[in-house]
């Protein structure tokens, strides 16, 4: 039974009322309470969206969605982040990115004089641009996931090659333990690849 009151969720809502459950998690080394062993357990438990749920991990965090130069970014597969306590990925991502807001992947939202949120009119040109940017982000992240797992910067032959479990194992082996860095990767784009 769910305890939080959300729109459409009542005290009598059960997890079985949902056909699919997806969880998104940041691999943020700043949080010492999350160990690699616990993450491994979570990946084993949350491995099926129709059962316990499916876990997706962003490396190091969700802001990896805009850690890119102008799309398509042919060097994306090389981007890493040093695992140092004083570094702040959000700040680094803002400095690094050619995109200073989410406008390149979302419709612009502004508040009017009364404080009411207004979303820009979705013109065919903007829809096309946003769709193209999402497709490019997805492709470069999936290719990078394949690079993390196989050292090949191209689309994998099948989705199992870039499973969340495989990505985590190769991140640990080739980046975290060996080089004290993490290969930047976004979970939303991996979810889109899996789902569609």
- Domain range for 71 is 23-101+139-195
Total number of domains in the chain: 1
**pLDDT tens across 30-59, in order?**
554 458 899 999 999 999 999 999 999 999
In a domain, 6, yes or no: no
- Asked whether the predicted pLDDT for residue 160 surpasses 70, the reply is yes
In a domain, 84, yes or no: yes
Question: Closest Cα to residue 168, out of 51, 36, 69, 73?
Answer: 36
Residue written as token pair 């059960």: 14
The tokens of 181 are what?
């860095």
In a domain, 90, yes or no: yes
In a domain, 35, yes or no: yes
Q: Is the pTM of this model over 0.85?
A: yes
In a domain, 190, yes or no: yes
In a domain, 5, yes or no: no
- Asked whether the predicted pLDDT for residue 195 surpasses 70, the reply is yes
- Taking residues 149-154, what's their average pLDDT? 98
Which of the four pLDDT bands, split at 50, 70 and 90, describes residue 115? Answer: confident
In a domain, 15, yes or no: no
Whether 10 contacts 17, CB under 8 Å: no
Cα–chain-centroid distance for residue 41? 19
The tokens of 192 are what?
């889109």
CA distances from 107 to 115, 117, 125 (A): 18, 12, 12
pLDDT at residue number 114: 87
């Amino acid at each position: 039974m769910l305890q939080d009151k959300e729109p459409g969720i009542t005290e009598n809502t059960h997890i079985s009322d949902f056909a699919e459950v997806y969880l998104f998690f940041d691999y943020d080394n700043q949080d010492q309470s999350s160990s690699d062993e616990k993450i491994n357990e979570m990946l084993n438990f949350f491995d099926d969206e129709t059962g316990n749920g499916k876990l997706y991990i962003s490396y190091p965090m969700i802001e990896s969605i805009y850690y890119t130069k102008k799309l398509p970014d042919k060097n994306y597969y090389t981007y890493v982040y040093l695992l140092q306590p004083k570094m702040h990925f959000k700040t680094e991502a803002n400095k690094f990115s050619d995109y200073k807001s989410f406008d390149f992947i979302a419709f612009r939202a502004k508040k009017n004089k009364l404080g009411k949120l207004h979303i820009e009119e979705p013109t065919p040109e903007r829809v096309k641009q946003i769709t193209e940017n999402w497709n490019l982000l997805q492709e470069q992240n999936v290719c990078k996931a394949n690079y993390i797992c196989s050292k090949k910067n191209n689309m994998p032959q099948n989705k199992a090659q870039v499973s969340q479990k495989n990505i985590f194992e190769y991140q640990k082996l080739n980046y975290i333990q060996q080089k004290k860095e993490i290969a930047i990767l976004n979970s939303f784009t991996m979810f889109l690849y899996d789902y569609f």
